[in-house]
Structure formats: C-alpha cells, structure tokens
Structure 1
C-alpha cells in the first residue's frame, strides 16, 4: 500500500484505505418478509390512537392554521386567528388541509400527515438505501429506525419535522445515488432536486444545507475533489428545479405580504442560526437526546464507533465507503444543529435515518445481527413503544389538556364575544371551538388589555401562564371586575403523578370573565 505524498492526499487514503476500505453487499434484492416487517411494524406504531388532545403550543398552532386555510379558501397566506402567520412556508399546512378535506377536521386527520411522512421515510431507508449498502444492511437500518423512540415519537405529533425529514432523506439518498458511482445519474439528480425543493417549501433552505455539505465532503474524502462529477450546469439544473417548485408560492406571498421574505429568511433562518432566539441550549445538547432517542441502536452504535477506531483490517473490510457517507451525513446533521444558536429536540431528526444506515451496515455484516441481545432489544423497544404511544401518550394528553374538562372550557370559548389569550396563544381551544377570532396580546404587559376591556361588555381571558391571573388581579382598576374565574389546575395538592407530568394544563391555567363595573362601562380608563 503506497502512502500518500501530499497532505491533501491523506484524506482519501484514510477514508478509503483505512476507515472504509470494504465493498458494500452486492445483494440488493427486496425480500418479501423484510418488506412486510418494514410496512407493518411502523404502521402498528404510527397509525392507531392518533385522536388524543392536541398539545400546546405547536400542535394547536399547526392544526388551527390549516383549518382556517380550508375555511377561508385562501391557500396562499397562512393565517392564525385571522392574522397572517409568516413563520414557515405552507407545504405542511396544505397537506393537513387536504387531509381535513378528505377525512374531516380532527386531530386524527391532522396527525395522519406526519405519520405517513415518517412511514415513507422508513420505507425509503429500506427500498432506496439498499442500493448503496445492500438489502440486509438497509433492512436493519429501517428496523432500528422503526423502534427508535426519538424518531417514532415525533411522528405521533403534528410537527413540521416529520415532513421535513422525509424531504431531506429522499433528497440525500437520491443525491448520493446520483454521484456515488463516479458518473452522474441525471434522473437521481433531478429527483434529489425535487425532494430538496419540497423541503424548501416546508422549512426553508435547511434541506439544501443538509444535502450538499456531506456530498462535497464525500467527494473530497474519496477523490480529493469536491464532487468532480457534478458540473456547473448540473448545479444550475438543480437550482432550476428547486426554484420551479417554490417560485409560484413565494411570488404570490410576496405580492400579498411583502414582509414575509425578511421575516422568514432573515429572522427565522439566519438569525435563529447565528444567535439564540428562544431555545438557547449548550453545544452538547443533542448528545443525550440521541443517546436516548436511538435506543436500542445507541448500544450498537457505541460498539460500531469502537470498531471504527480500533478494529483491525478484517473489521475494516466490512465497512464500505457508502457506509462512511451515511455516517458523514448523519454527523453533519448533528454538528450543524449543535452549533446553531436555537435548538429543539426535533431539529436533529434528519440525522436518524442516516445514522441508522451507517449502523445497519455494521449490524448486518457482523455477528451483532444474530446476537440475542440485538434482537431482544428490538422486540423490547417495540413493545415499550406500543405501550407508551397507544396508552401512555393519550393518557398524558388527557391529563394535561385544557379540554380534560371540556364542558367547563367550552362554556367560555363557544359563546359569542371576545376571547383573549394572555400572555401566550392557546390555539387548540380555538381549534376545538371552531373559531378563528381569538385576540392575542403580544406583550406580558396587561395595560393595553385592561384598556380594551373597558370598551367591551364582556371579555373572556385565557390566562396561559400560571401566575398571569394573579398579576392581572393586582393591576385591575376599580372600573373593571372579574365576574367569574375558573382554575383548570388539577388541585392544590401535588401528588406523585403531578410531579411527573405536571399539574397545570398545557398552555392554559385559568379562565376569567372581565366586565366593566356598572356605571363605569363608558369610562374609568
């Protein structure tokens, strides 16, 4: 083995001769038994019992926006409580609205969209991933992904991340297929561009960022060049497809809401990455999330990394460059979101399929695929997930939802009149009440709210912080009075269950009806 003579030449040498010198499994034929497992196991985890109460704040918001979209017939400008909501592009809203149209407006129909997206992601890992690493490694990747609690749990919730992970996974798999043989496959390249464009229409340019960096790194580590097979005209073609997918809506939204471009691209992409927004966390934030979220694969991943760093030539011969690419792609996702100024547990979701593909190759080609501990871990985790997802999560939602006492809450929010959320939104109540006119107070200062109450005969205030009602009482002038107030907390005593799951309903703690005192309805400000 000839050693490289230049520093740059050491990169391909280390990657292709030391770390990943093997060849991928040649057998890529789909096994019917494996396909049935990948179809049925995720289906059992993802589709039943989706109708539990919406979680605040995200699920309430993402259920309400498509409901308003369907009711208004306006598919261009997303609205929340009748006002333009410009934080995200509309693809998720469109899909949920279509689900409402087919199945009716309900949490069950809303959550069908992320469930289908995550199921399709698992199928893509098996059916498309087998082309690069072989059928058995792809099956193990899909199996481990199906029982990864941090991945499957997100599919049970109405979040954008389920749709985004499907777009990113398809884009990266297709992009890698387009270049991995050293000769560009245009069909795969265009497919990657289309999936990337849909990712852009879901959450902005993150799909392109997660695609190109690992592709460029793989080219540098295998040939010493940044994807030499891709010429400028191919990049232009890729960009043209992404633009074609996105341009109609972006032009339409700009014509009606010119502030969208600055608000979304600058404030919700650039600034969120460069500086803390509202989710400040340490740089190692995703380490414990992945350790727990990848179980039982976490244990196998530790063995895989030890094998990668200390294994001999025989162990290295079982590691292919394709497996190395999937490790790069997953590692890049984790690194990118770790250095981001804003972090949430779901942001790292696109890393799961790629890490599982790298891990699947290791498991399938070593003794670990036959180990009792491996198979027992998969079975035990599947059983635990079935219990947690279909029993624990609905019970938790019922305990914590404001609509755990539906007759009480509905009495306030379904009657005609002004309903105000303070100091945060509680959109799930609007969703269940079929309303789109809840007022929002965009500050924790209650002064403007007090002024507005003087001009209304009756104001229902949804207090969305545990101390908000007490603070409001202290600032209430003599010209206003609280005609009725109801606490939605579980009680004064705090038991073990309350300590574990919390004693305050999501997003809503108290409800109060505020009216002007008689004789002060026209003044007293």
Structure 2
C-alpha cells in the first residue's frame, strides 16, 4: 500500500469512527432532523421514491437525494437513529479524504494531513457530520466542483471540467439550484480576477451542461411532470426565492452573522483564521504568486459574502467555506506540526466525550426531541384513535410514535396558518384540526407542549382528560370516547 492510500485509509477510518460513534444514542431532534427522517420514512413506506412527502402530503422543501440516502440507510440498518445519522457521518469522512487529496496535490502531503486534521476537528464540521441534514452531502459535491475545476485549470487537462458538471448536478439534487449557481459564480469570479476571460469559453459548456441536465434534470423533470406548477411555485418560489429575499428569522439578519458563525464553527482553530487569511493575501504578490492560495481565498470569501447577502440566515449555509479555510490554516501552521497533532488528538477525545456526555443526554431529555413523549402512548394508541398536539408542533413525536398528529387551534386561527404559497406558512404542511371539531366518539390522545401549559385550562375541560405522562417539557393526556 503506497503512502497516499495509507493516509486515506487512516483518515477515512478515524473520520467514520468519530462521526458515527454514539449516533445510536442521539435522538432525532426537532424541527429539522425530524422532518427529514419522517419524509424519508413515508417515501419508503409508500414505495414512491420520486416525490418527497410528509404527513401524507407532498413536500417540496428539498430535492430527493438526501431522502434517498436515508432510505438506503433504513434498508441497511432499520429505522433508527444510527441509520438516520449514517450518511452524514460517511460524507463527513469522505470530505476529509477529499480535503487531504486536494491539499496534497496543490501543496504537499504534510499540508494535506494537517488540513484534514484541522477540518475534521472544527466544531461545526464535527457537529454537522452527526446531524441529519443535507449539508455534509452538499459539502462534498459543492466543493468537489471547485476541486475538479482547479485541477483542470491548473494542469490544462480540461476533461476535469466534465466532472464539475456531474458533481454540480448531484449538488443540485441534494440542495437545489445553489448546487451549480454558487460554485459556478466562484469559478467565474476567480477567472475574472485573473483576467483569464478566454478560459470562460473553454469550460466545456455544451457537453458539460448536457451532463448536468442528465444528472440533475431527470428528477426535476419527473417532479414537474407529476406535480406541475405546484412543485415549481413551492420549491423554487418559497424554498429558494423566498429564502433569498425574505428573512425567516429576522433577529439574525445582521451584517456580522456569518462572521460570528464562521469563527465559532472553526473552534478550536479560529485563533489562526485572521492570520491565515492575511498570509494568503500577502502571497498574492508577484513574482512569487501563490496561485492555489488565491483560489482558496476567493472560494472561502465568496461563500461567506454570498450568504451574507441572502435575507434568510442559517448557521449551516457557509459550511463549504470551511474546506479552503482549513487548507489555508494548514499553510499558516505548517511549521507548527507538533501543535497541530496535539490539538487534533485532544479534540478527538473532547468530541467523544461531548457525544456521550452532552449530545446524547441533551437530545434525549431536554425537549429537543419528543422521543420520550411518543413512548408514553405508542404501545397503546390504536389505528382509529386520534392524536392531537397543542402548542409548538413536534414532528419527532410523529416519527417515533408512528402516528400522524393533528395540530389543534381555534377554528378562527387556522386559516391564517395554512400554506398560501406566498409566505413561510408554506412550510405548515402538518394536518390541522379545530379545537371545536375534536371528536367525542373516539379516543383522543393530546400532546400538550410546554408553551401551552397555561392555556390548557382555558381551551380544554381538564376534568375530561386523564394524564398519562408528565415529561417536564410536555404532557400526554387521554380522553376516552363517550
């Protein structure tokens, strides 16, 4: 086995152990993880692997690729927490291997090993490699586009460009149009900075776009054929255009948001971030121009600037920018190899402790998941019984309880909460039921979320409801049929 294969094997094994360890003990949390796990489960049970669905309704929040990953994992390991977290961990390890290969190619083996170690122990990277979301899959495909471009551009072997389009297609299947728009924008900006406008014409546009359309377009075409403009209006209109133009979380729409997130995400390496960026800037001086550093700098800065310009802010959006930053930090710490090794070793231990001492108990007991709530009624609720939820809706109760719950509100309030295709209400695809319409001829199970504790006596007759379980952040009641 040559040195490169040995390095890749070690990086891959360490990454898999770190990112998969303890996942069986971490409950599926709300609101994001449970949406993905339940959607994939409903697709699996329906036998329809094209159209994502949740609560029995079609769901256009994300393309299908990540759901396909979950379905494969369910078939391999069963429907459980380890299966749900399996592919984020796999792609986390794969991302480290790609980082090593790319850094080794553009610099040397030592830089590659240091970059993989730095990236793998960044707090955000570790956290998202254990989280049931699309971002680690996007990380690999998105950054793969840029790696393939640079390999083709720096070596003159433009057949690499074809791989760019295929990977962009996979990124688009995972996250949407951003999978081609943002890496494509980074490439164009970089070529403009270098004033190499002729290379723009050499990007294999015709055959490349054909490969992209074949890779990504088949699913989008199938969805349009099946669902028509409803898919276009919701997927592109709400979940893409609306996110870019209207803030979902107004309090975080501030200019310093992603700067703060990036520093926090780079822990424990964030102290090197300003110096690493400044060193990369200085290395853009002739005659000793560091071409790879210029590309990495362009790559990381545009990811952060682009998302800062978007109205909706999410902590995970700038994750792809960690890869080039990790390589730049490895360049800055090149002569401090011992420090890097010791820090990586310490952080590996820290993350193992965090997994079992923090992540598992917090996700299982502090209201982030309703797994324990579902356990109260799961073994006794019947098919004809009704399950309702009052307060914040928690999809994890549906996933773990294997029973769709109705969100109950006063009849006059429900119309203002229903999806309208023009606002964030489009995400409210859970079934609703008016309090006035709760049936009396069926057993009704009520999940009362903690924010609604004080309203229970006002909206319901407490004498009619039997308390089955009190779990601090939620209570479960039963009203038997009359």
TM-score (norm 2): 0.86
Counterpart of 1:127 (choices 69, 82, 101) is 101
Other-structure match for 2:350: 384
Q: How does 1:505-524 map to 2 (within 5 A)?
A: 509-514=474-479
Cα gap change, 1:305 to 1:330, in 2 (>3 Å): closer
Structure-2 residue corresponding to 1:257: 227
- Go from structure 1 to structure 2 and tell me whether the alpha carbon gap of 1:197 and 1:402 turns closer, same or farther (over 3 Å shift): same
- Of the candidates 143, 153, 158, which is equivalent to residue 185 of structure 1? 158
Counterpart Cα distance in 2 of 1:347 and 1:296: 20
What residue in structure 1 maps to residue 428 of structure 2? none
CA contact (8 A) 2:388 2:408 kept: yes
Matched residue of 1:144: which SS? helix
Structure with the greater relative contact order (CA < 8 A, sep ≥ 6): 1 or 2?
1
User: Is the partner of 1:467 in helix, strand or coil?
Assistant: helix
Q: Which residue does 1:110 correspond to in 2? A: 84
Confirm whether residue 275 of structure 1 aligns to residue 246 of structure 2.
yes
User: What SS does the corresponding residue of 2:458 show, helix, strand or coil?
Assistant: helix
Does the CA-based 8 Å contact 1:48-1:390 persist in structure 2? no
- Residue 212 of structure 1: aligned partner: 184
CA contact (8 A) 1:301 1:359 kept: yes
CA contact (8 A) 1:42 1:146 kept: yes
SS of residue in 2 equivalent to 1:346: coil
What whole-Å deviation, never above 9, does each CA across 1:122-173 have from its counterpart, x for those lacking one? 1111123422233322221111011111111111111111211111121111
Q: 2:436 aligns with which of 451, 455, 461?
A: 451
Pair member with larger Rg:
1
Counterpart CA distance in 2 for 1:414 and 1:360 is 58
Q: Does 1:433 align with 2:433?
A: no
Alignment of 1:105-184 (within 5 A): 105-181=79-155, 183=156
Write the deviation string for residues 274-301 of structure 1: whole angstroms up to 9, x where unpaired.
2212465112112222212212321222
1:382-403 Cα offsets, whole Å, 9 max, x none, are 2211211243211222222433
**1:373 aligned counterpart, secondary structure:** helix
Partner of 2:41: 67
Match of 1:288 among 225, 239, 260: 260
Q: What do residues 85-109 of structure 1 show as CA deviations (whole Å, max 9, x unaligned)?
A: 1111111111110111122111111
1:430 Cα deviation from its structure 2 partner: 2.2
TM-score (norm 1): 0.80
Is it true that 1:43 corresponds to 2:26 in the alignment?
no
The structure-2 alpha-carbon separation of the partners of 1:442 and 1:376, relative to structure 1 and needing over 3 Å to count, comes to farther
Structure 2 residue 448 is the aligned partner of structure 1 residue 468: no
Q: Is the 8 A contact 1:129 1:173 kept in 2?
A: no
Measure, in 2, the Cα distance between the counterparts of 1:107 and 1:40: 21
1:195-223 Cα deviation digits (max 9, x unpaired): 1101111111112132122212221222x
Matched-pair contact (CA < 8 Å) for 2:277–2:297: no
Q: How does 1:320-399 map to 2 (within 5 A)?
A: 320-364=290-334, 367-369=335-337, 372-399=338-365
Measure the CA separation in 2 of the matches of 1:166 and 1:425.
32
Which SS does the other structure have where 1:347 is aligned? coil
Give the deviation of 1:193 after TM superposition. Answer: 0.8
- Tell me the CA shift for residue 185 of structure 1: 1.3
Q: Check 1:306–1:249 CA distance in 2 against 1; reply closer, same or farther (3 A cut).
A: closer
SS at match of 1:510: strand
Instruction: Give the aligned partner of residue 419 of structure 2.
Output: none
Q: In 1, distance between residues paired with 2:140 and 2:470?
A: 38
Partner of 2:370: 402
Unaligned runs of 5+ residues in structure 2 are: 415-432
2:63 is paired with a residue whose SS is coil
Counterparts in 2 of 1:132 and 1:210: CA distance versus 1, 3 Å: farther
Distance 1:104 1:472, change over 3 A: same
Which of 201, 220, 223 is residue 173 of structure 2 equivalent to?
A: 201
Separation of aligned partners in 2, 1:397 and 1:198: 31
Structure 1 stretch 191-200 or stretch 207-216: which is displaced more?
207-216
**Which residue in the other structure is 1:234 paired with?**
204
Spell out, residue by residue over 1:164-190, the C-alpha distance to the aligned partner (whole angstroms, 9 max, x if none).
Answer: 111112111112222234x3512x111
Gapped runs of 5+ residues in structure 1? 1-28, 491-503, 519-525
- Distance verdict in 2 for CA 1:412–1:332, change over 3 Å: farther
Per-residue CA distance 1:244-269 (angstroms, 9 max, x = gap): 11222222222332201111112111
| Paired position in structure 2 for 1:4 | none
How far 1:510 sits from its partner (Å)?
2.8
